[in-house]
């Protein structure tokens, strides 16, 4: 357990998963704030257009002050390696990180292996945010289906190793694995 986040003794990371605009980032930020440590925010988004720039600005405003922000659209493993003891890290989000690698035609299996190794070796506890994309209709094109499948595989792998997995629906958190901390339940 770190701060008030119940993560197992053998794992130093938690996963927060939900649909688009489900409230998962707010729940993840709350987990990190409850830990009472220095906060490191690893951002994976890239601002390709005005709408995305606005989303990024809205997230920054929502978070408020007291966050060290690190941009890591592709090298999430490197950014995790820079985390320091005494910090709590928030990664927002794995879906955009995967999208960036998908578009770069990276070896997704190798990048996922690197991520899992970095999470295990990270000097600080980590809260990761990801989208659940498999509860919707089957995408109509092959590219979208490949992405949905890759996201599902990534989510399964991270969730299997996480000490705490929190699902979020309509802004309400529920424990999928582990126990929600008192301030969140």
Give the residue numbers annotated as catalytic, written as ranges.
Answer: 59
Closest CA to 29 of 69, 106, 89: 89
Residue 36: which region, alpha, beta or left (left: phi > 0; alpha: psi -120 to 50)? Answer: left
User: What is the Cα–Cα distance from 72 to 10, expressed in whole angstroms?
Assistant: 26
Instruction: Count CA atoms within 13 Å of residue 140 on its CB side.
Output: 0
Q: Please give the C-alpha separations between residue 134 and each of 24, 46, 60, in angstroms, as whole numbers.
A: 16, 23, 28
Q: Where are the beta strands (DSSP E) in 74-125?
A: 87-92
Count CB-CB contacts under 10 A for residue 42: 24
Cβ partners under 8 Å of residue 95, min gap 6: 130, 131, 133, 151
């Amino acid at each position: 357990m770190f701060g008030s986040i119940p993560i197992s003794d053998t794992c130093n990371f938690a996963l927060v998963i939900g649909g688009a605009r489900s409230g998962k980032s707010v729940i993840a930020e709350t987990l990190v704030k409850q830990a009472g440590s220095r906060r490191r925010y690893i951002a994976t988004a890239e601002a390709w257009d005005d709408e995305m720039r606005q989303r990024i600005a809205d997230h920054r405003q929502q978070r408020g002050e007291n966050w060290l922000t690190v941009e890591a659209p592709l090298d999430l493993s490197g950014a995790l390696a820079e985390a320091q003891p005494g910090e709590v890290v928030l990664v927002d989000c794995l879906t955009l990180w995967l999208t960036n690698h998908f578009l770069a035609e990276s070896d997704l299996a190798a990048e996922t292996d690197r991520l899992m190794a970095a999470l295990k070796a990270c000097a600080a506890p980590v809260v990761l945010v990801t989208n659940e994309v498999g509860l919707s209709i089957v995408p109509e094109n092959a590219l979208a289906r490949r992405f949905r499948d890759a996201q599902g595989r990534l989510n399964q792998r991270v969730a299997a190793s996480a000490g705490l997995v929190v699902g979020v629906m309509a802004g309400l958190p529920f424990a999928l694995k582990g126990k929600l901390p008192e301030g969140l339940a």
